[in-house]
Amino acid sequence: MGPLTEFGILNHEGGILAAFIIGIAFGFILEQAGFSSSRKMAGVFYGYDFVVLKVFFTAAVTGAAGLLFLNYFELIDLSQIYVNRFFPPAAIAGGVIMGLGFIIGGFCPGTSVCAAAIGKIDAMAFVGGIIIGIIIFAETFPLFKNFFNMNPKGNIKLTELLGIKDGIFVLFFIIIAIVVFFVSSKIEKKVKKVEY
């Protein structure tokens, strides 16, 4: 049955429309969960609020387990799901830059757009910074091209890289998530509350 676009149930335009609707729903839920607050977002780095960690871990666990069950019941063909190409050096560099931007600005790209949409000026500045960064990156790409394409691993999943079964990986991931939830709750109780 799925992915809908790969099996011709949704055409290209239908896929874009579906993405638009899901995007609105995603933004709405982010805002409702308080992710439009940069203080709340940055709280994960200072130990006073781990809601970001919890929400994204929950989303990852739900998504991973859900996809595997859907695949098992033949409601989705996982082999047709697009997997990003993996370039380890570029991914590490990008992760560091993203993390720094997250700490300094208090948003990640998605939540900044969400916060800008409800009129937060800091988020608008953040989005402006993203756009300028994209333009600079695009214009100077030839300088980074070799590094960007270094050590390509292809469209590979972590389980393929590690050589383990998807289900076992998800089980470990669930256990890690529960441990992280438990530990972060303990830290939250010890760190002084921040009002925002």
Partner 1 sequence: MRKKYIIVSVIAISLGIILAILPAKKIRTEVRPNQMLMELLDETRYMSVDKVAEYIVEQNRFGLLIDVRTPEEYAEWSLPGAFNIPFDSILSPNYEYILNQDIYTNILFSNGTTYSSQAWMLLKRKGYTNNYIMKGGLNNFITTFLTTQYPLESESNETFDLYQFRNGVRQYFTGSGEIPASNEQEPKNEIIIKKNKKKEDDVGGC
Q: Minimum distance between the CB of residue 78 and partner 1, rounded to whole angstroms?
A: 7
Helices assigned H by DSSP within the chain: 12-32, 38-46, 51-72, 88-105, 109-117, 121-139, 141-148, 158-162, 166-190
> Of 41 and 120, which CB lies nearer to partner 1 in the complex structure?
41
Q: Minimum distance between the CB of residue 119 and partner 1, rounded to whole angstroms?
A: 21
Q: Minimum distance between the CB of residue 138 and partner 1, rounded to whole angstroms?
A: 16
Q: Minimum distance between the CB of residue 68 and partner 1, rounded to whole angstroms?
A: 5
> Of 120 and 170, which CB lies nearer to partner 1 in the complex structure?
170
> Of 98 and 143, which CB lies nearer to partner 1 in the complex structure?
98
Structure tokens at 188: 């939250």
Contacts of 150 (CB under 8 A, 6+ apart): 87, 88, 89, 90
> Of 85 and 193, which CB lies nearer to partner 1 in the complex structure?
85
Q: Minimum distance between the CB of residue 121 and partner 1, rounded to whole angstroms?
A: 21
Q: Minimum distance between the CB of residue 178 and partner 1, rounded to whole angstroms?
A: 5
Return the biggest CA–CA distance within the chain. 53
Residue whose entry in the numeric block shows the structure tokens 């190409």 = 85
End-to-end CA distance of the chain: 45
Cα–Cα distance measured from residue 2 to residue 140, given in angstroms and rounded to the nearest whole number: 39
Cis amide leading into 3 (omega within 30): yes
Q: Is 170 helix (H, G, I), strand (E, B) or coil?
A: helix
> Of 166 and 188, which CB lies nearer to partner 1 in the complex structure?
166
> Of 48 and 76, which CB lies nearer to partner 1 in the complex structure?
76
**Residues forming the site for partner 1 (CB under 8 A):** 7-8, 19, 56, 61, 65, 68-69, 71-72, 74, 77-80, 82-84, 108-111, 154-155, 165-168, 170-171, 173-175, 177-178, 181-182, 185
The answer to whether the CB of 52 falls within 8 A of the CB of 35 is yes
